[in-house]
Homo-oligomer: A and B are copies of this chain.
Amino acid sequence: MSDYSFEYFTVRFPTDQQYVAHVEINRPERLNAFIEVMWLNMAKIFNKLSSDPSVRAIVLSGAGEKAFTAGLDVKAASEGLLSSETSTDPARKAAFLRRHILEFQECITAVERCEKPIVVAMHGFSLGLAIDLSTATDVRLCSRDSKFAVKEVDIGIAADIGTLSRLPKVVGSYGWVKEIALTAREFGAEEALRVGFVNGVYDSREATVAAALKLAKLMASKSPVAVQGTKEILNYSRDHSVQDGLRYTSVWNGAALQTQDVSAALLSGLQKRVPTFEKL
């Protein structure tokens, strides 16, 4: 696989990490703040990786030392989506805004729908959209210097791209989420670890990215049938009752258990060697 890039994004395929793709947000001069082309491109990238058979796990991080992403580029937004013009009829303006929010949400949901597991490595400013985005991935790691905040109430809005729907289900505790979201107060790496928002804290951006790549490599070494099935069933279960989750699983595994990966994995286990699996 050769590396490629989309505007404000780089996609690399580390040669020592087979089946791993590394997506980097690349607008460091503006603290990786998001403008519209960026979320559209991000969706394109994750849709592409989702069906790319040479990818089995993905790392997402931000370029530059200062920020994973400072969130929405508020200056650009206040001239665009949040500007006060367009229509003078409040009902029509509401329709216009709703369509734009749905489109934006759909781009973040593309990250969640990506069939391959995603590990996000955050550092420095990780505000607003950083939370929306990272809660759509599977595992969150961060560096010790991370500064997190659900920043939206500070600009007069309720977060609408995913944080309020996904963050409580990521961490479990509604009490903590309520405080964080209603005050927009900053929290750091230690608090993020304690409440379960991140799975690990590392000393620097580099160490965090390295840990994310290592974790992704581990996931990429397993049967992709098993890994992708596990991700899908966990996502399904989040939004359904246990009985529904069990029923869905039984149908999913009706096909998945027919894979040759099971015997490959079992045999490798007995022979103490690394199994190889067909692409998916």
A225 CB contacts on chain B under 8 angstroms: 91-92, 95, 156-157
Give the number of copies in the complex.
6
Contact residues in B for A168 (Cβ distance below 8 Å): 234, 237-238
Question: Do A215 and B164 form a contact, CB below 8 Å, given A94-B258, A250-B98, A265-B155?
Answer: no
Q: Tell which of A243, A244, A249 has the most Cβ of chain B within 10 Å.
A: A249
Known: A138-B178, A175-B197. A253 touches B97 (CB 8 A): yes
A78-B265 Cα distance, complex, nearest whole Å: 11
The answer to whether B156 touches A255 (Cβ under 8 A) is no
- Asked if A25 is an interface residue, CB under 8 A from chain B, the answer is no
* A260 cross-chain contacts in B, Cβ below 8 A: 89, 91
User: Do residues A219 and B173 form an inter-chain contact, with CB atoms below 8 A?
Assistant: no
1/0 per residue, CB under 8 A from B, across A211-233: the answer is: 00001001100110111111111
**For window 226-275 of chain A, which residues contact chain B by CB distance below 8 Å?**
226-234, 236-266, 269
In the complex, chain A residues 172-220 whose Cβ is within 8 Å of any chain B Cβ: 172-179, 181-185, 195-199, 215, 218-219
Docked CA distance A225–B78 (Å)? 17
B contact residues around A91 at 8 Å (CB): 225, 255-261, 280
A204 CA / B92 CA spacing, docked (Å): 39
- Is A41 among interface residues, defined by CB-CB distance under 8 A? no
Which residues of chain A in 91-117 are interfacial with respect to chain B, using CB atoms and an 8 Å cutoff? 91-95, 97-99, 101-102, 105, 109, 112, 115, 117
Nearest residue, chain B, Cβ from A118: B178
Q: Are B152 and A226 in contact (CB under 8 A)?
A: yes
Cβ 8 A contact of A172, one of B138, B171, B215, B259? B171
11 A-B pairs with CB atoms under 8 Å apart are: A78-B266, A90-B255, A95-B225, A105-B249, A153-B223, A157-B223, A168-B237, A182-B230, A185-B218, A251-B251, A251-B255
8 tightest A-B contacts by CB?
Answer: A172-B172, A165-B245, A91-B259, A158-B229, A239-B241, A94-B254, A94-B255, A173-B196
